[in-house]
Structure 1
Amino acid sequence: MLDSIIPLLSDPAAWAALITLVVMEVVLGIDNLIFISILSNKLPPEHRQRTRRIGIGLALIMRLALLAAIGWIVGLTAPVFDLGLHGETFDTAFSWRDLILIAGGLFLVWKATKEIHHAVDTTPSNDMLEKDKKDVVINNVGAAIVQIILLDLVFSVDSILTAVGMTDHVPIMMVAVIIAVAVMLLASDPLADFIDKNPTVVMLALGFLLMIGMVLIADGFGVHVPKGYIYAAMAFSALVEGLNMWARAAQIRKNQAEEAAQAALNRAETAEPGV
């Protein structure tokens, strides 16, 4: 392993491939990080950070294991069955990669829809109130980690197959994955805290997950949507929401200043008769 890495250190093409792969893995990891943040924020505060770290740590182990079995991963693109209904819109020859993407997309759409309904419907569940709190927390932590791992499997297969087209060197892919996951680990807590403190951002993030889920389903059916369009739409939406947050913060400061001025005026009018 070491003998295969040392020659790459003096190869400019290897460094260029590494930087490109790191950027790609970080960008592709945004989807996963949003999902992890929303999922972990549903847990009690004392369990959130630990759940995120466990989920991301297990995701790293899984990605490295998939890279070690790169030959098997590449084989997932071979068709396993064909419905025989070929057309210009989509292809009906499905591989294991297609089926994984479709299943992951359906899961994302279901999960995002469920979370949106939960955010809109504020009626408490009587069954949940009757359960023992400790058991509910344990079950939720375990369920959250399982969901993080299952969804990361979908993104891992897609990103690794993309990486295969950029370089043939598995050590470069492994280093890129380790760096990208380390960035995810560092960014997970600040992003989760930001989402938790801004409820409107949660709805925007759930909208992102719905869009990403539909893109995964379309990709599974052979309709490839350029990733640049997706991330450009996400960036524009985030910019608009940032402007809304800025406007709301400015309005709050204005209201506070007006209230302070009115309070000072009231105090002055109250004190005036005694002068």
Structure 2
Amino acid sequence: MENIMALAADPTAWVALATLVALEVVLGIDNLIFISILTNKLPEHQRARARRIGIGLALIMRLGLLGTIALIVRATAPIELFGQTLFLSWRDVILIAGGLFLVWKATKEIHHSVDPDPHPDFLSGREAGLGFSAAIAQILVLDLVFSIDSIITAVGMTPHVPIMVVAVIVAVAVMLLAAEPLSRFIQKNPTLVMLALAFLLMIGMTLIAEGFGAHIPKGYIYAAMAFSVLVEMLNMLARRAHQRRTAVKAAPGKA
């Protein structure tokens, strides 16, 4: 308790907290995009529950990992196997596996979006769909990958666990508040789905590259994403303006 009170009275701790909260919120965008796209494929009455469970699991996983910081820090050390030191760490292995999963999932969703004749499920003869349990399982896999990346980032920012805990809780609370509006926005604007899937492809490739030791500054990634979103917003405004002009011309009494 004395340690927490000392941190509360330290201005540098507040600066570290604000910086870490901002960073954790930005890192949570990737997680939230995946959850939004995946839950939008479920029946409407299951979507909100799936989003809450997915984000709740993200919080539990992050807080659980904070309780094992010593193990997380050691996860960045090279793996020793049969007396040989490999060039990869367990963190690298998890990032590569998560990146491959993200690339596979995004590619599959893009194919499903552009395929004019969806193929039926091989065994049942029905069009393949996504069940609630399958969605939660896939969210859980990506929660693990993003949580490890998030906690390792937090460990690099500050040595104080209370600051990490507060930053993680605030970031996940922001994710919870933004999940519903973001999912509705993506649902109402189908072109954004393809853009979000492209983001997931890029994020997946970034995770794979980082797993193999090629560090890509996050600022470059998020600057590209922000520019793409700006262009798409301009396209949406242009489409709406065109629709309004078309409606005015088609109205009775108009030439």
For the aligned pair, the TM-score class normalised by the smaller chain equals over 0.9
**Does the residue aligned with 2:79 lie in a helix, a strand or coil?**
strand
Which structure has more helix as a fraction of its residues? 1
Query: 1:64-83 residue pairs with structure 2 within 5 A?
Result: 64-81=63-80
> What does residue 220 of structure 1 align with?
211
Q: Summarize deviations over 1:99-131 as a string: whole Å, max 9, x none.
A: 000001000000000000000113244449968
Match of 2:109 in 1: 115
What are the superposed Cα offsets for residues 230-257 of structure 1, whole Å, 9 maximum, x if unpaired?
0000000000000000100100011011
Letter in structure 2 aligned against 1:72: L
Structure 2 residue aligned with 1:105, among 99, 102, 106?
Answer: 99
Whether 2:201 is the aligned partner of 1:210: answer: yes
CA change 1:197–1:265 in 2 (3 A) is: closer
**CA distance in structure 2 between the aligned counterparts of 1:210 and 1:216, rounded to whole angstroms:** 10
1:132 & 1:203 partners in 2: Cα distance?
25
List gaps (5 residues or longer) in structure 1.
Answer: 83-91, 267-275
How far, CA to CA, are the matches of 2:126 and 2:229 in structure 1? 39
2:170 is equivalent to residue 170 of structure 1: no
Partner of 1:94: 88
Higher CA-based Rg: 1
Match of 2:225 in 1: 234
Summarize the Cα distance change of 1:254–1:150 in structure 2 as closer, same or farther, 3 Å threshold.
same
- TM-score normalised to the size of structure 1? 0.87
Cα distance per residue 1:31-82 (max 9 Å; x no partner): 1110000000000110000000011011101110000111100000010159
Question: Take 2:12 and 2:40, find their aligned partners in 1: how far apart are those partners?
Answer: 41
In the alignment, the residues of structure 2 paired with residue 123 and residue 129 of structure 1 have an alpha-carbon distance, to the nearest angstrom, of: 18
Separation in 1, partners of 2:184, 2:250: 29
How many residues in Structure 1 have an aligned counterpart in Structure 2? 251
SS of 2:131's partner is helix
CA distance in 2, matches of 1:73, 1:146: 23
Mean CA deviation greater in 180-189 or 140-149: 140-149
Deviates more, 1:223-232 or 1:2-11: 2-11
TM-score by length of 2: 0.93
| Residue 4 of structure 1, CA deviation | 2.8
**2-side partners of 1:249 and 1:40: how far apart?**
27
Report matched runs for 1:5-84 at 5 Å: 5-81=4-80
**Identity percentage over the alignment?**
67
1:153 equivalent in alignment to 2:144: yes
CA deviation map 1:84-110 (0-9, x unaligned): xxxxxxxx7100010000001000000
- Output the CA distance in 2 between the equivalents of 1:113 and 1:170: 38
Note the C-alpha offset of 1:222.
0.4
Query: Which contiguous aligned blocks of 4+ residues in structure 1 show a shift greater than 6 angstroms?
Result: none
1:193 aligns with 2:184: yes
1: CA distance between counterparts of 2:76 and 2:124?
A: 48
How many angstroms apart in 2 are the aligned matches of 1:127 and 1:227? 39
